[in-house]
Amino acid sequence: MPETMRAARYHGPGDSLRLEKVPIPEPGPGEALVRVRAAGVCHGDLNRLSGVVDPGVAPLTLGHEIAGEVARVGPGVSPHQPGERVIVHYCVGCGACHWCRTGQENLCDAPVEWYGLISDGGMAEYVKVAARNLVKLPAGLSFEEAAPLACSATTAIHSADLARVRPGEVALVYGFGGVGAPLVQYCRLAGARVLAVGRSPAKLQLARDLGAEAVIDASKEDVPARVRELTGGQGADAVFELVGTAESMPKAVASLRRRGRLVFLGDSRDLLTLRPIQLVILEAQFLGSRGATLDELYKAVELAAAGRIRTAVDRVVPLEDVNHVLDDLRRGNVVGRAVVRP
């Protein structure tokens, strides 16, 4: 086994990733070393590169959508064996706080690891992870299809469950990208009518293919007016805000039905200004959705294995091309998820 590996390393906001040779980590007690076969490129990586999200840890290997094979296990790891195909849940909570005790480690008071955010992630040949975070991959799922489940599909599941999407309701997916694709499918599975907002014909076509009943082109159409038109004047019961800009946020609010739930997932540096009465007259609810739990990754893998959530893989590229992919993602030219193969 070699001692070093290639990794795409983050060195601080405003810089692109650098391909470097770094030591292959050694798994300790309760840990496993995973040979990464596919790593998804998430919008969260762009927020990290731009500094919108900056936990202050650098240098660091990015990548929190990780699928691969167990290469080695540390002491005390019995259920997982070398060669096993796995996908990795990206965060490890402290195990002691209220949130960890209730299985909601995404809200942990003091996370111990968060791959690609505060600890080295999967844009490398190998990654060292907590063995508890490994979810076995069924044979029918390729590494490329599986990797994006780790963040994009789990985020979709978590946010739709938070919004309590119910049969017959209208869900508006505002911003059709990596999370939008599984969100359209999951809201359909929950029995909702799904409307999707996007800006490119290719993305809107994909939204339709994945089950959106109608799509709205935000570059040409008046989104709230179209939503009212499509819902008999009512608006959407659940609006998923995946863009988070000064342009999108007021339109997302204006698309809400009475008692509607607006779930924030996207982020920029923009602010949303509202008069309280806007929420009062609607009895609207605002929610934030932060990541997902290990259990939600189990759920995502089950749904994907059963063919009920399909991963839309835009392209698979070698690790060397990760900066090109990030540029394309920034420009809105990735339809679904791009995956790197280290």
Please, what is the end-to-end C-alpha distance for the chain in angstroms?
A: 16
Contact 211, 194 (CB under 8 A): yes
Query: 264: which strand partners?
Result: 241, 288
Say how far residue 304 (Cα) sits from the centre of its chain: 15
Contact 287, 261 (CB under 8 A): yes
In a 3-state reduction of DSSP, which class is residue 290? coil
Say how far residue 124 (Cα) sits from the centre of its chain: 19
- Find tokens 């009895």 and name the residue: 283
- Min separation Cβ 338 and Zn ion, Å: 12
User: What percent of the residues of the chain are helix, what percent strand, and what percent coil, each to the nearest 5?
Assistant: 30, 30, 40
- Min separation Cβ 254 and Zn ion, Å: 28
- Min separation Cβ 333 and Zn ion, Å: 18
- Find tokens 């608006």 and name the residue: 235
- Min separation Cβ 224 and Zn ion, Å: 28
Can you spell out the DSSP letters for 122-182? SSBSEEEEEGGGEEEPPTTS-HHHHGGGGTHHHHHHHHHHHTT--TT-EEEEES-STTHHH
- Find tokens 């508890």 and name the residue: 132
Of 193, 158, 143, give the one whose Cα is nearest residue 40.
143
Q: In the complex with Zn ion, which residue's Cβ is closer, 150 or 236?
A: 150
- Min separation Cβ 93 and Zn ion, Å: 4
Helix extents (H) in 210-254 = 223-230, 248-254
CA dihedral 17, 19, 20, 24 (to 10 degrees): 100
- Summarize as ranges the residues that interact with Zn ion (CB under 5 A): 42, 44, 93-94, 97, 100, 108, 151
What span, in angstroms and rounded, lies between the C-alpha atoms of 152 and 267?
15
- Min separation Cβ 154 and Zn ion, Å: 9
Q: In the complex with Zn ion, which residue's Cβ is closer, 16 or 102?
A: 102
What span, in angstroms and rounded, lies between the C-alpha atoms of 144 and 150?
11
In a 3-state reduction of DSSP, which class is residue 278? helix
Cα-flanking dihedrals φ and ψ of residue 296, to 5°?
A: -70, -25
Q: In the complex with Zn ion, which residue's Cβ is closer, 94 or 254?
A: 94
